[in-house]
Amino acid sequence: RAIICVLLLGNVAQGCHWFHHHRGKRSTTAQDTIHLRHYFANCLSSKLSGFDFASLVDYTVLSSAWYANNQLAICSDSGDTAQCWANKLDQFIDRKNILSGPVRGCIEEYAEDVGTGIFRHSTTAGRKKRQAATGGAPDTYTSCIATSSTLESEGSNIDITEVANFIENFTVIGCQGCGCGSNGNGYNISWTSKFAALTKADSPLRDVIRDC
C-alpha cells in the first residue's frame, strides 16, 4: 500500500521520486524502502486506528504485485508523481472503504514533504500495534503462513493475520465471480488464489501462500 513512493532523507525532490544520481527505476528492497515504509505507517496511524499499518505497508511495498508493477513502469521516472499513484490506487484499494481516504491523504502529504524536505511524519519505526483482525481467512491458513521461516527473508515484521484481513475485506479484487464456495470447512476455497494474485511472483511470501 504501502505505500506509494521511495524516500531518500536529506534530498529535496519533485513528486514522490527518490533522487539518487538520476531519475530511474526505484528499488523495492527492504533496506532501501525502510524510511518510506515508516513514513506511510506513521502517517496512516495518525489518521485511522484499528489497523496494524506497519504490516499493511510492509506487505504492499515489499510483496504486492500492485506496487511492483506500478513502480517499475507506469508510475516510474517522469511519471513518478502523487497523481499517478493516487490514480492507480483504485486498482488496489476499494475507493468506497475507510482506507481509501487516508491513503490518498498520505500520498499527497508525502509528495509535499519530499518537495519541501520537511517531513511531518516520522521516518523511523513507530510502536508496533497488533490488532485482532475480524473475519477473513481461516486460522489454519494464516497460522501456516505466519509460522513459515521464509517470511524472515522479507526483512519486515508482517502480521499475516492483519494482511489477510486487509486483502479479503479492503482490496479491490473480491471474491465475486472467482468461483468461491465452501469446501466444507466454512471458508472460501478461492482464498489462497486471491492472496496469491495480489502478491508478486518473486516475493518469498508467494511460495509460502502456495505451499500453505
Q: Is 116 inside any structural domain?
A: no
Give pTM, 2 decimals. 0.76
Say what percent of the chain tops pLDDT 70: 67
Measured distance CA(91)–CA(97) in Å, rounded: 13
Q: Look at residues 159, 180, 182, 163 and name the one whose alpha carbon lies nearest to residue 171.
A: 163
Residue 162 has pLDDT above 80, yes or no: yes
Q: How confident is the model at residue 28 (pLDDT cuts 50, 70, 90)?
A: low
Q: Is 89 inside any structural domain?
A: no
Measured distance CA(172)–CA(93) in Å, rounded: 5
Q: Is 129 inside any structural domain?
A: no
Residue span of the structural domain in which 207 resides: 139-211
Q: Is 151 inside any structural domain?
A: yes
Q: What are the tens digits of pLDDT across the range 173-211?
A: 644 444 444 444 444 446 667 788 889 988 888 888 888
Q: Is 15 inside any structural domain?
A: no
Q: Is 184 inside any structural domain?
A: yes
Q: Is 144 inside any structural domain?
A: yes
Q: Is 126 inside any structural domain?
A: no
Q: How far, in whole angstroms, is CA 154 from its chain's centroid?
A: 13
Q: What are the tens digits of pLDDT across the range 43-55?
A: 999 999 999 999 9
Work out how many domains the chain is built from and give that number: 1
Residue 129 has pLDDT above 60, yes or no: no
